Amino acid sequence: MQTRTLGTGLDVSALGFGCMGLSFGYGPATDRTEAVALIRHAVDLGVTFFDTAEVYAPFINEEIVGEALAPVRDRVVIATKFGFDIDPETGQMRSGGMPLNSRPEHIRRAVDGMLRRLRTDRIDLLYQHRVDPEVPIEDVAGTVKDLIQEGKVLHFGLSEAGVRTIRRAHAEQPVAALQSEYSLWWREPEEKILPVLEELGIGFVPFSPLGKGFLTGKIDVTTTFAENDFRNTVPRFDPENRKANLALVDLLRRIADEKGATPAQIALAWLLARKPWIVPIPGTTKRHRLEENVAAADLTLTPGDLQEIEEALARIEIHGARYPESAQRMIDR
């Protein structure tokens, strides 16, 4: 697989692997042995960039990633995230909901736990998972800068951060990558975020590049989700919104048929064509879907294809918010 560079020197595969869904967010967790095998298969397919976070089924996801990648640690890039107030002893949130905590002392404790769970002596890319309004971003960036000087962290990242926060953080410690949602059905980053990333030389890592599964074409109005699948709370997945949003899937399916590809591959190839410093991180729990996603890195969309998509998108209205209101409040603007 081809590689891309995030920031000024973090080389990764053009497509990464978002590991969250193996243990968190999308229904029942994958059997641990199967999850480890899937991650290792991704390595065999050329994926070198793996994304996790301490909050994903607190600590379990990092443990799975650590186990899977330990034999190939020097061949891969591991990204993880801090930023929620998790008790390091119990793995439970310290108070109700999902409280934020990016105080310097908490970051340091979090990183020590990450290193242990990930079975490594350094974190290649450490993100602040959500911007903490109670902690100046300069204090966060300064703490990560110290951790970089100590060799525990190699690169600094932000997630769902707004333009002002990005600029302030980057002035204190260069930001290698911003991770935020971006796909054919969520294009908000194009307005303000992508221009500032290009200006500052910061890479972009889109999560949910397949619209939380919707852009694969495998979800329709009759689809039901497991009780603990967070899509049950997402307005965009309300049945009426799903029905309206199938127009986008129909577009992807038509273009995919013309290219001998799948809707998911078109969605990923579209992202890869946007900028050379964009690295999507699709996730999956299935081996054949992993292989399908990886194959998208070899799919080229012509300028004509991209123009066709753009013109068709202009006629499609996407219905529903991408997050419930409680989650929206944690997005930095």
Closest CA to 79 of 4, 21, 17: 17
Question: Which string of b and e fits 197-220 if b means at least 16 CB within 10 Å?
Answer: beeeebbbbbbbbbbbbbbbbebe
Q: Using DSSP, state whether 41 is helix, strand or coil.
A: helix
Amino acid (1-letter code) at residue 65: V
DSSP string, 150-161: TTSEEEEEEES-
- Burial degree of 144 (CB within 10 A; 0-12, 13-18, 19+): buried
How, if at all, do strands 3-6 and 10-13 pair? antiparallel
In three-state secondary structure terms, 121 is coil
Comparing C-alpha atoms, which of 64, 53, 115 is closest to residue 86? Answer: 53
Strand partners, 126: 80, 156
Active-site residue set: 56
Strands 153-159 and 123-128: parallel
| Helix, strand, or coil (residue 81) | strand
- Round to whole Å and give the CA distance between 136 and 279: 28
Does residue 22 sit in helix, strand or coil?
helix
